[in-house]
Amino acid sequence: MTSTEVTKTQLNAHLPQVHEPRNAGVPLDLDWALGTQANTSAIERRCATLPARRSVKKDHQAAWLLKAITMIDLTTLAGDDTAGRVKRLCAKAANPVRRDILDALGMDRITTGAVCVYHDMVETAVEALDGTGIPVAAVSTGFPAGLSPFHLRVQEIEESVKAGAREIDIVISRRHVLTGNWQALYDEIRAFRAACGEAHIKAILATGELGSLRNVARASYVCMMAGADFIKTSTGKESVNATLPVSLTMIRTIRDYHARTGFRVGYKPAGGISKAKDSLVYLSLIKEELGDHWLQPHMFRFGASSLLGDIERQLEHHVTGRYSAAHRHPIG
C-alpha cells in the first residue's frame, strides 16, 4: 500500500456493522431525570483539553475523514431553496468526493448519511436519491421555533413520512424545559414518535436556548424515555449551536440511558461544525465516551453542509500535497 492509499479495512476498522433495535422508550421517571446534575466547570475542562490531546495523521486521518463523510446529513434549509438546488445537493450526497481522489485513496464509492430538507422538498429529494440507498430527513414540527399549533406539527410529520422521508428531525417546545413541565415534553415526544411510524425521530433540543447544561441533560433523558431514536443539539438557527460541552453532556446521558435500559440512542451535533479538524474532535469524543458501536451512520450524524467541502479539500491535500480552491469541491 502506498502512503496515499486508504483501504476499506482502515475505514471500517473495529466498527461493528450490526444495526441496533429502535429505542422503544420507557415510562417517564422524574426521579431519574431530575436527579441528574451537570458539573459545568469539570465538563468545560474536559472539553478544553480534547482538541490538543487527540490527533490522527496521514492515512489514519484520511480514513477518519472518509468515515466522517458517511455520517454527514447534507443539509439545505434556506428560504430560497429550489428543486434544482436540492437535486444538486442530492447528487453531491451520492458522490461526495471526486472520483480521482477516491481512486488515489484506493476507495470505492461512499455516500453521505442522509440529505436533510424542509417538507416542501422531500419528494424532490426522494426522487433524486432513488436507487442510492441514501435516506431523506425532513425537519418538522414548525422548525425551527416549534411554535405552530400542536395538531399541525403532528400533521406535518405525517405528511413528510407520506412523502417518503425516512427520518424526521423534530424540535421540542423549549418552554416545557424552561418551566420544568417534563410530563408535557414527554407526551409531546411520544405523540411525535407515533406520527413518525417506521421513520426514525431525531429530537432537536435547541440547547443554546435551554439555559444550562443541567437542563440539557434533563431534556435529553426525557426525550430518550419518550422514544427518541436520536437526540440532536440544535436547529442551526440559534445564536449558539453545537459545542463540545453540550455534546459531552448529551453523550453521557446517552451512555447512562443505554446502561439502564439496553437501548442505544443516536447523537447528532448540528450547527457551527464546518472544519475537518472539528469533525475529528467530535469523532474522538464519541469513541472515547460511547465506543465503536456509535461510530456508524445509524448512530451518529453531523448536521452540516460546509463541513463536506473542507473534508474534501483535506483529502485532496493528503493525496497531492497541495490545497485546492473551494470552488473545486462544490456542494450543490
| 212 phi, psi to nearest 5 deg | -160, 160
Mark whether 8 is an active-site residue.
no
268: annotated active-site residue: yes
pLDDT at residue number 77: 94
What confidence tens digit (pLDDT) does each residue in 16-30 have? 444 678 999 999 999
276 burial class (0-12, 13-18, 19+ CB within 10 angstroms)?
A: buried
Q: pTM here?
A: 0.92
Rounded-to-integer distance, Cα 328 and Cα 325, Å: 6
Identify the pLDDT of residue 125.
Answer: 98
* Beta-ladder partners of 20: none
Query: Which one of the listed residues 67, 92, 202, 232 is annotated catalytic?
Result: 232
Q: What's the pLDDT at 4? A: 45
Contact 83, 121 (CB under 8 A): yes
Q: Which of 67, 92, 202, 268 is catalytic?
A: 268
Please list the ranges in the chain whose pLDDT falls under 50.
Answer: 1-7, 9-10, 13-18
pLDDT at 250: 98
* Among 236, 228, 244, CA closest to 209: 236
Where in the chain are the domains? 23-328
Q: Quick one: fold of 23-328?
A: TIM Barrel (3.20.20)
* Catalytic choice (73, 169, 229, 310): 169
* Helices 213-225, 244-261: inter-axial angle, 10-degree rounding: 40
Query: Who's near 233: CB < 8 A, 6+ residues apart?
Result: 204, 205, 207, 241, 242, 243, 246, 247, 250, 268, 269, 270, 271, 303
Residue-wise pLDDT for 70-117, tens only, equals 999 999 999 999 999 999 999 999 999 999 999 999 998 899 999 999
pLDDT number for residue 310: 93
